[in-house]
A and B are shown apart, each in its own frame.
Chain A
Amino acid sequence: MKKSTSFSIRDIAQIGLMVAVIEVSKAALSFLPNIELTSFWLIIFTLFFGWKIIAVVPVFILIEGTIYGMNLWWIMYLYIWPLLVLIAWLFRKNDSAFFWAIVSGVFGLCFGALCSIPYIVIGWSSGTFMSGLRAGFVWWVAGIPWDFVHCGGNFTLMLILYKPITLAMRKINSSNIMI
């Protein structure tokens, strides 16, 4: 992998392609509630494209906000996806499909809990800290069944796709087409 500290035209093109892949995958699976490939791609791109992911995440978040409106969920995106990228980067030396399926599954399972943070803040700002905590807790509990779906989807998709996609990425890498 070529190391670089500034954006070249190739880097910008790659970043654009990565965002496009995430957006297209997201749109293609939008009919399935809480089944998504965003987690999968962000992990894979972090493992294979290194520092370039730092540009991919904000571009992806900005595009999402532009398409769907910058409401409360958008605030959640500002810390949730960077957190996933950080976790992927910390464990980047692992090359086990099962390991990444677990990481992606845990992330999907905790997605609702992470999303409840703004509700805690909103509840706190309009009352006491405890009322904020209660608001966030009630909101999180109501969505736990969907967190199970998210967990199962993330785990399964990573387990199935990790090997073929990493194989393809390595072939691209060795032929120096993209990376």
Chain B
Amino acid sequence: MKNNTKKIIIGAVILIVLIALFAVIWNKFSAKPTKGAKNITVEVVDNEGATTDYTLDTDAEYLRQAMDELGDQGFSYEGTESEYGIMIEYVNELRADYTADGAYWAIYVNGEYGQYGVDTQPVTDGDTYTFKYELAQ
């Protein structure tokens, strides 16, 4: 009984320490939105590898807001809303149908594979955001 209580206390301490540690790491290292004017480039690479570039001066904090503003330049997107944010299916009216052939719209930030959806991807001055039509391997 005493041994069990000891294990519970040790476990509870480990859990609390891990929660605190993870919170500090997330606070220090996660990408955060910045306020103010930014100049960004949005790039679309379609299923044939053709690239279309858009440049935008924006105050948007997250990529989706910037994408909405790009509608004036002919950029368009559609997708399915979920708890995790929008799952993009169409960019410039080209559909990536994962269920049909494993196609999806990958997001790259400055050439590196993005870690966030468009709803949570912070916009940073000078960055290039690429939507690339890809097939799952």
Contacts and interface: CB of A to CB of B under 8 A. Distances in A.
Verify that A and B bind, or say they do not: yes
Interface of A: 32-33, 71, 91, 94, 96, 98-99, 102-103, 105-106, 109-110, 135, 137-139, 141-142, 144-145, 147-148, 151, 155
A142 B11 contact: no
A103 B30 contact: no
A55 to B, nearest CB: 29
User: Do most interface residues of chain A lie in helix, strand or loop, or is the interface mixed?
Assistant: helix
B100 interface: no
Interface of B: 4, 7-8, 11-12, 14-15, 18-19, 22-23, 25-26, 29-31, 83-84, 113, 115-116, 136
Contact of A96 (B4, B15, B19, B22): B4
A141 B4 contact: no
B12 to A, nearest CB: 6
Nearest to A123: B113
B30 A102 contact: no
A31 B19 CA distance: 25
Contact of B15 (A106, A135, A138, A147): A106
B116 A106 contact: no
Nearest to B30: A141
A94 B4 CA distance: 7
B18 A110 contact: yes
Contact of A106 (B14, B25, B29, B84): B14
Nearest to B98: A69
Contacts of B29: 137-138, 141
Q: Which 3 A-B pairs have the closest CB atoms?
A: A102-B11, A142-B115, A144-B26
